[in-house]
Structure 1
């Protein structure tokens, strides 16, 4: 088991990958640098290998697929994830890894938004998207993660081996943040100085299509992790709609003793039935979620035991 594993997903980063590998080697000489090439069409893999990284390949396209492969194959006491585009400072990795190794953090977030991200990043919609996603997730999942979309993070062994990676692409950071929040893991934020990509290096993140994927991911995760809130909200909306259309029918009946709007009354009745069904669906699913959380805690304890056992055997 490695003490520190630096994980770098890589897709066409030939302009920067060597510098990124060398920077982490200088700052974390005890770490093993892993570069996972994701079907690059340039010389990224060769350059990373020349720089001294352990180069492996993931042939399913997408950052989520790469991280799934990394988490499956690598065992380490601490994992540091960074991008290969030289936008994150290697110097911050010492503080981030120390919080995992010595302060028992499960996930450490490299916080760009509290620093210079808005001035360095030349894509204004990215700034707004990061702000919106952060506010939405912290509101829905009651946490205070400072930067949801950052690709610079450190993880504990327990987090990595109990995190079910479902995303295929850039939604992976959002999924990590929600998972850690929902499972009440120890999350820390470290402010970092962000650098925009150098000339000739291009982001693979599409502001609009990937932004829509992230929003869909948030709603899907909210439905899965907070079913009572999701289905309870639907039940509340349906109840309000039914009440709005039912009140005039009821007023007419009290005044005249007649119900001239039978179709409206029938629709209101079916709407209330749907609201009741949504409420009890949320209630039952919330019970299942609670049981899953209890099972997760047991699995988390088992994973911690195996980490200690593996580390002891390595010594």
Structure 2
């Protein structure tokens, strides 16, 4: 009897549908939010749709509520703040995050949810491998996407095709252990770099992208948000890859110091005199600073390794709690 009861319990757990939350960050999306909510409720009828209204001044919240979404206000302006609130306030087995601008197909969410259920921590809706460059009418965005993708993949030895997509699915453990630090649209870049650094299970799924419908305006600022993205990349590389970061800076300073030192040393070998003491002084300081940067990189690299270890420990704890909850 005991074995039969255990087998029945195991079968019941295997057949249990995961609790899915659709998370939609919104700011003035009254033109598209109704269709987005309806589409996701149609393709994932058992999921709960949450619309996080980020101080909209139009009818976004009202329309979302009328279409059956749970509307939650987030007063701190910026997409990063909204993502932090979503992961903090919503509990689910699987999370699907999508923009409210109707540029992503709801139908893809079914396969994205299935991949998370298979064991992936983050499923990325890859726009750049399909229709993004044809549909997106902003050429600087296309160029920026390519540059950011190439640099991050080179630095992290990765092969992610779409770094800044807003269409993603997450496991419970990733959502609850991800420290959201960005405030604005650089959040997707931060999220990707964090996932690469922690070596989580990532699956990329090509999706069909469509540009915003007529009457819907983008909130992105090409120059301003582009600078923020670059700043995020710089900051996170310094944090997660301190050894190569500080080694490169140290190498640059050391080369400058050696270039300044060579003529001074040549004069000394010929005449036995050092006529340019200021040059010698600056060169030695630069070389000393280079050595200090290398030492700093070594020390900070040990901290980065400890952070990766702590992430694995926390991930295991969340997985254990999930198993006990079932």
Structure 1 unmatched runs, 5+: none
Bigger mean CA offset, 188-197 vs 243-252:
243-252
**Matched-pair contact (CA < 8 Å) for 1:2–1:32:** no
Q: 1:82 aligns with which of 73, 98, 101?
A: 98
**Matched-pair contact (CA < 8 Å) for 1:2–1:31:** no
Deviation string for 1:86-139 (max 9, x for gaps)?
00001111111111012x111111111111111100100010011111111111
- In the TM superposition, what is the alpha-carbon distance from 1:266 to its structure 2 partner? 1.0
Q: 1:64 aligns with which of 40, 64, 80?
A: 80
Within the alignment, does 1:182 sit opposite 2:203 as a pair?
Answer: no
TM-score by length of 1: 0.96
- In the TM superposition, what is the alpha-carbon distance from 1:219 to its structure 2 partner? 0.2
Aligned to 1:9: 25
Aligned residues: 310
Q: 1:246 aligns with which of 235, 253, 261?
A: 261
- In the TM superposition, what is the alpha-carbon distance from 1:150 to its structure 2 partner? 0.6
Q: 1:256 aligns with which of 255, 265, 271?
A: 271
- In the TM superposition, what is the alpha-carbon distance from 1:218 to its structure 2 partner? 0.3
Cα distance between partner residues in 2 of 1:33 and 1:2:
14
Aligned to 1:20: 36
**Off by >3 Å, runs of 4+ in structure 1:** none
Cα distance between partner residues in 2 of 1:244 and 1:148:
39
Structure 1 segment 164-183 matched on structure 2, within 5 A: 164-183=179-198
Cα distance between partner residues in 1 of 2:85 and 2:321:
20
Cα distance between partner residues in 1 of 2:87 and 2:215:
30
**Matched-pair contact (CA < 8 Å) for 1:245–1:268:** yes
Structure 2 unmatched runs, 5+: 1-16
Within the alignment, does 1:219 sit opposite 2:234 as a pair?
Answer: yes
Deviation string for 1:19-66 (max 9, x for gaps)?
001111111112111111111111111111111111111011111111
Cα distance between partner residues in 2 of 1:66 and 1:288:
29
TM-score by length of 2: 0.93
Q: Secondary structure at the match of 1:114?
A: coil
Within the alignment, does 1:208 sit opposite 2:237 as a pair?
Answer: no
Aligned to 2:57: 41
Q: 1:199 aligns with which of 197, 210, 214?
A: 214
Within the alignment, does 1:97 sit opposite 2:133 as a pair?
Answer: no
Aligned to 2:311: 296
- In the TM superposition, what is the alpha-carbon distance from 1:2 to its structure 2 partner? 6.3
What is the RMSD computed on CA atoms of the aligned residues?
A: 1.1
Cα distance between partner residues in 1 of 2:216 and 2:317:
43
Cα distance between partner residues in 1 of 2:272 and 2:73:
76
Bigger mean CA offset, 9-18 vs 136-145:
136-145
